[in-house]
Amino acid sequence: MLDLLIIGGSAASTAAGIYAARRGLNFKIITKEFGGEVATSGEIGNYPGTGMTDGIKLADQFKEHLKLYKADPEEGIEVAKITKQEDGTFAVAAKKDGADISYQAKAVIVATGVHPRELSIPGEKEFRNKGVSYCTTCDGPLFSGRVTTVVGGGNSALEAGLMLADIAQKVYVINKNAAFKGDDVLIKNLSLKSKDKVEIIYEAQTMEIIGEQFVTGIKYKDKDGNEKEVKTDGIFVHIGMIPNSGIVPDNVEKNPFGEIKVNVKCETNIPGLYAAGDVTDVPFKQIVIAAGQGTTATLSAVEYLNRLQ
């Protein structure tokens, strides 16, 4: 029986694991793949103490920090469901390499993050990994010297546009709104790019992704309702995220977006079950905030475990 099981593999779970190790808990960190959304981020300049870095480097630093405490995350674990048992402990059903496995713990921290929201238009699923991508950091370099399209209007779309502007022949940015909703510095930097290099299409509703073996274009309706098409080799979708909250017990309180509701101590409405990072209803989705929540969740779990004794 573990004292604490931490589910997730990014900033929140790293901080939770460091504090669990320092408190001498019997714990594990399990995740499908370490890195999370941090690893897919481009340039990062707002995480204290790291200066200018990138997502892959920061994720590697997280893993190295855990190694200092012999708290290496167990990867390749797909969690199916968390159940609170009659004795107050938790059973966690999971799979590894297709085989059923389970964990038992007195307390659990859910730090499972988010996954990309899809456009839900014809052609999207058919051309996934055939020109459609949800990670510009991962797949952008494959489109060096080619025509690319970014769909979205927030920070991640702006960052994608900036990255592709440095390597692609041409970048279209399709924004359904009349203006971007990201940081001013990103909006300014994208606007400074050559108009021949970056073309922004506002108030456009994506309709269909087209192609043969690979993507060849994307159709959209402009603000006047006219259907148009952009010829493109790659489409990078950045329209928001969906929380990975389906594994928690059915009676865990969530907001209308599916985010797990937590209080200032990262407690859910179920004693012994905590949540941290982007999977929660914390208003600002930032790496440093996720790390702080991971710390808070472990310290709250320590208080809970002490009361059990």
Per-block mean pLDDT, blocks of 10 residues, the chain (309 long): 98 98 98 90 85 91 96 97 98 97 99 96 96 91 96 95 96 97 94 91 98 97 96 97 96 98 99 98 93 99 94
Return the pLDDT at 195.
82
CATH value of 118-237 in 1.10.3210.10, 3.30.70.2860, 3.50.50.60, 2.120.10.80 = 3.50.50.60
Residue of 127, 115, 118 whose CA lies nearest to 33: 115
Q: DSSP secondary structure string, 94-113?
A: EEETTEEEEEEEEEEEE---
Q: Which amino acid is at 24?
A: G
- pTM for this prediction: 0.83
Return the pLDDT at 196.
86
Return the pLDDT at 37.
84
For the chain, the structural domain boundaries read 2-115+241-308, 118-237
CATH topology classification for 2-115+241-308: FAD/NAD(P)-binding domain (3.50.50)
Return the pLDDT at 21.
98
Return the pLDDT at 39.
85
- Answer yes or no: are the C-beta atoms of 145 and 168 closer than 8 Å: yes
Topology match between the domains 2-115+241-308 and 118-237: yes
User: Tokens 């204290």 — which residue?
Assistant: 48
Here the tokens at position 62 are 């997280």
- Classified as helix, coil or strand, 224 is coil
Here the tokens at position 83 are 């159940």
Decide the pairing of beta strands 53-54 and 77-84: unpaired
- Answer yes or no: are the C-beta atoms of 242 and 222 closer than 8 Å: no
